[in-house]
Amino acid sequence: MADANEFAVGPMLAAYAMRVEESLGRRHAEPAHPYRNDYERDRDRVIHSRAFRRLEDKTQVFTLRFSDHFRNRLTHTLEVAQISRTVARVLGLNLDLVEALALAHDIGHPPFGHAGEEVLDGLMREHGGSFDHNIHALRIVEGFEQKYLDFSGLNLTFEVREGIIKHSHDCDPALFPELAEYRLDDRPTLEAQVIDLADEIGYNCADLDDGYEAKLLTVAAMRDGMLLFDRLYRPLEKKRAAAPEKLLFNEALKQLLDALVTDLIDSTRERLRKSGARSVEDVRRNPKRLAGFGGAMGTEDMRVKDFLSARLYAHPSIRAERKKITRSLEGLFQHFLEHPRSLPASYHAKAQQEALHRIVCDYIAGMTDSYLIQQYGKYVTG
Ligand code: MG
């Protein structure tokens, strides 16, 4: 059978799309697969990884104490993959690469969402280090996943590793000399750029939905705080005055998501046209990322974010959760620093080569929410 990387499968790729046959490849050479190209194999490797499965029990915004039908990091990831695929297909981007990147985009997240990330980062800074979920994701795919006879990690292609590192923000090349191979001065592929926006659209709409469902956000507050939401809600309410509020809300939210995705597609296309980008190299060299909203939708998007920050993330019941999360992460971190022998043997053994606080951080970052609570109970409060 021929090499799967040679097949042009699916829709035609645009000139600025990443072609799998032009990939900079894997760290460890592997024979080509007969019917899956390298990006399809990367997607499959991510799905079959432990870190991916653990997303099921990692908080997005709401812990399970609120409700078990809210998003967790796994269902959020699936929403991002779905939005990304839609955008990528319309723009003629590489769907396999987009899917691999979307499914991998949050695998470096520690337990308890952004609160968890901030607490771990703060703890690491006390020891002269830091914690960033993108860098942690790279450590996972480059080393922690142990599945293959010939190498540690998942041996993913360069473009997927690069996308992981450049997810949602640029890294300063001066601060991360060890990441020089990823050309930190250059933009990532358009496929990676699209993921960031799909992530943002996904979590903004999901947080509004879960916030409403949790009764922490009201329709009145949303209409007041987000002009676009009000513009979408008003005609619905007029036309269907007898409809239950929940269904009107659902419809308006669906239209909001659609408006954001449509603007992302149109504005990215327009920016691509203006930039004259005709190749991946042009995309990389462009002074700014090309995927993004237009000016007006950018303003609306900021309003949504500001609204969520002020009304949901800062809500007293979310803050109260945060205090508990901080206490358990700090308590467990301290415990393992003082009693490294209670770490699993494989982690304890690593303390010969690396600083203990780094190993403790890696161990805790890999935990699911419930495992962290269980370990905190066992070692700290038990
Ligand atoms: Mg995400």
User: Which residues are bridge partners to 59 per DSSP?
Assistant: 72
pLDDT at 169: 79
User: pLDDT of 41-78, one tens digit each?
Assistant: 999 999 999 999 999 999 878 776 667 788 999 999 99
Judge whether 14 and 50 are in contact, CB under 8 Å: no
Neighbours of 338 (CB within 10 A): 10
Residue 264's closest CA among 289, 247, 243, 246? 289
pLDDT band at 6 (very low <50, low <70, confident <90, very high): low
Q: How far is the CA of 378 from the centre of ligand 1 (A)?
A: 30
pLDDT at 12: 86
Q: How far is the CA of 199 from the centre of ligand 1 (A)?
A: 5
Q: Which of 109-113, 162-166, 350-354 has the lowest mean pLDDT?
A: 350-354
Mean pLDDT of 341-356: 90
**Residue type at 48?**
H
What is the full DSSP assignment across 273-292? HHHT--SHHHHHHSSS----
- Residues lining ion ligand 1 (Cβ < 5 A) are 106, 199
**Residue type at 60?**
Q
- Distance separating alpha carbons of residues 191 and 243, to the nearest angstrom: 40
pLDDT at 337 over 80: yes
pLDDT at 267 over 80: yes
pLDDT band at 340 (very low <50, low <70, confident <90, very high): very high
Q: How far is the CA of 255 from the centre of ligand 1 (A)?
A: 21
Helices in the chain by DSSP H: which ranges? 38-47, 50-54, 73-91, 95-104, 113-125, 133-139, 158-165, 190-213, 219-225, 227-239, 245-275, 280-285, 295-308, 316-338, 345-350, 356-366, 369-376
pLDDT at 10: 54
- Sequence-distant (6+) residues with CB within 8 A of 53 are none
User: pLDDT of 112-161, one tens digit each?
Assistant: 988 899 999 999 999 999 999 999 999 999 999 999 999 999 999 999 99
pLDDT band at 7 (very low <50, low <70, confident <90, very high): low
Mean pLDDT of 239-255: 97
pLDDT at 89 over 60: yes
- Distance separating alpha carbons of residues 168 and 263, to the nearest angstrom: 19
Residue 17's closest CA among 166, 146, 140, 189? 189
pLDDT band at 81 (very low <50, low <70, confident <90, very high): very high
- Distance separating alpha carbons of residues 269 and 263, to the nearest angstrom: 10
pLDDT band at 3 (very low <50, low <70, confident <90, very high): low
For CA atoms 138, 169, 174, 351, the dihedral sign is: negative
Phi-psi region of 69 (alpha: psi -120 to 50; beta: other; left: phi over 0): alpha
Q: What percent of the chain has pLDDT over 70?
A: 96
Q: How far is the CA of 344 from the centre of ligand 1 (A)?
A: 29
How far from 314 is each of 139, 168, 217, 317, CA to CA, in Å? 31, 22, 12, 8
Mean pLDDT of 207-236: 96
Q: What percent of the chain has pLDDT over 90?
A: 82
pLDDT band at 2 (very low <50, low <70, confident <90, very high): low
Mean pLDDT of 255-284: 97
Q: How far is the CA of 35 from the centre of ligand 1 (A)?
A: 30
User: pLDDT of 148-207, one tens digit each?
Assistant: 999 999 999 999 999 999 998 777 888 888 898 998 999 999 999 999 999 999 999 999
Q: Tell me the whole-structure pTM to 2 decimals.
A: 0.94
Neighbours of 230 (CB within 10 A): 16
pLDDT at 153: 96
Q: How far is the CA of 103 from the centre of ligand 1 (A)?
A: 9
Average pLDDT over all residues of the chain: 93
User: Which residues are bridge partners to 72 per DSSP?
Assistant: 59
* 13, two tokens: 């790729």
Check residues 150 and 9 and name the one with the higher pLDDT.
150
Phi-psi region of 275 (alpha: psi -120 to 50; beta: other; left: phi over 0): alpha
- Sequence-distant (6+) residues with CB within 8 A of 116 are 59, 109, 110, 325, 329
Q: How far is the CA of 78 from the centre of ligand 1 (A)?
A: 10
pLDDT band at 80 (very low <50, low <70, confident <90, very high): very high
Q: At 250, phi and psi to the nearest 5?
A: -55, -45
